[in-house]
Structure 1
Amino acid sequence: MTNDKKIPTLYEWAGGMPVFEKLTDIFYKKVLKDPLLEPVFKHMSPEHQQHVAHFMAEVLGGPKTYSDSEGSHYHMVHKHLGKHLTEQHRKRWVELLLETADELGLPADPEFRSAFVGYLEWGTRIAVINSQEDKLEMDKEQPMPKWGWGETGGPYIP
């Protein structure tokens, strides 16, 4: 017996692009009021939260809005160079994003939250690592990360 039921992407399960755009809009309003994060983000462009929404949505299985018209993985990584983010920045960023996800009613089932938190942990830790660098040798054609319901595929190797 086969299971013909299509498993939705994390993007679909969360509710699609309107959910990600609302999540980042509300989240970044909180960031700009946060004493730890505000200094890091106070000079962000007016489009920043929308770019983050589109990037996150694409990584989680949504449309290629970010990579087709707003940037690339290379572009996103390079936005973090020289920012010197700390573990405290990272933890607070994740904490506020998850708080906002709860407020908006993003799915709270263990499978979704495990995958979603896994992506946030992975992505923010990469951002902290890259933020310590002023220059990074990286293939400009490196594909966008893809995050699903399963595992990452092995240990991080710098």
Structure 2
Amino acid sequence: MQSVYEAAGGHEGLVRLARAWHERVMADEVVSHAFSHGLRPDHIERLAAYRSEALGGPTTYSDRYGDESSVVRTHSGNGPHEEMDRRAIACFDQALTDVALFEDDPVRAVLRDYFAWATRTTMSRYHDSAADVPAGLTIPHWSWDGLIG
């Protein structure tokens, strides 16, 4: 059986999805606030590399950019933001349609479940301070059956 990464179109498929999601997010008045401080020029590539690794692809993110601790720190210390999370997930769902992953495609449900889980757990676990994030976290891996390990 192919990995979620392969079923999603590999790295290029996840780049398309990252781009579609980012366009949706930047058009959302609530979620776009998360990027008001600016973003790296390679944001979409880094996002695709992170999701690729999480979904069974190559370890490019860990090899080039950092570990899970660095990712979680970037998303921490901003207080609770349930509305922003809900809207980010809605943007992701719309982005899945934008890249032609429709309701009847099995990979769509897995990708949506992964994104919702990551948004509501790992990326929003440390509301008070990025300093609370422990060192050495590894990128969680997701399969057709959900979280691995």
- Do the two structures share a fold, i.e. TM-score over 0.5? yes
Q: 2: CA distance between counterparts of 1:73 and 1:83?
A: 18
SS in 2 for 1:35: coil
Q: 2: CA distance between counterparts of 1:136 and 1:110?
A: 39
Quick one: which of 77, 87, 90 aligns to 1:95? 90
Q: 2: CA distance between counterparts of 1:54 and 1:151?
A: 19
- Letter of the 2:116 partner, please give it: E
Counterpart of 2:64?
69
SS in 1 for 2:22: helix
Structure 1 residues 8-17 or 45-54, which shifts more? 45-54
**Percent identity, aligned pairs only?**
26
Answer whether contact 1:111 1:149 (CA < 8 A) is retained.
no
Q: 2: CA distance between counterparts of 1:94 and 1:137?
A: 23
In structure 2, the CA distance between the partners of 1:8 and 1:109, relative to structure 1 (3 Å rule), is farther
Higher fraction of helix: 2
Q: 1: CA distance between counterparts of 2:139 and 2:77?
A: 21
Counterpart of 1:8?
2
Deviation at residue 10 of structure 1 after TM alignment: 0.2
Larger Rg: 1
- The gaps in structure 2 that reach 5 residues or longer are none
Counterpart of 2:28?
34
- The gaps in structure 1 that reach 5 residues or longer are 1-6
RMSD (Å), alpha carbons: 2.0
Counterpart of 2:12?
18
User: Is residue 147 of structure 1 aligned with residue 138 of structure 2?
Assistant: no
Quick one: which of 47, 54, 66 aligns to 2:49? 54
| TM-score, normalising length: structure 1 | 0.82
SS in 1 for 2:39: coil
Deviation at residue 109 of structure 1 after TM alignment: 4.0
Answer whether contact 1:14 1:107 (CA < 8 A) is retained.
no
SS in 2 for 1:101: helix
Q: For this pair of structures, how many residues does the alignment match?
A: 146
Counterpart of 2:132?
136
Structure 1 residues 61-70 or 18-27, which shifts more? 18-27
Answer whether contact 1:24 1:53 (CA < 8 A) is retained.
yes
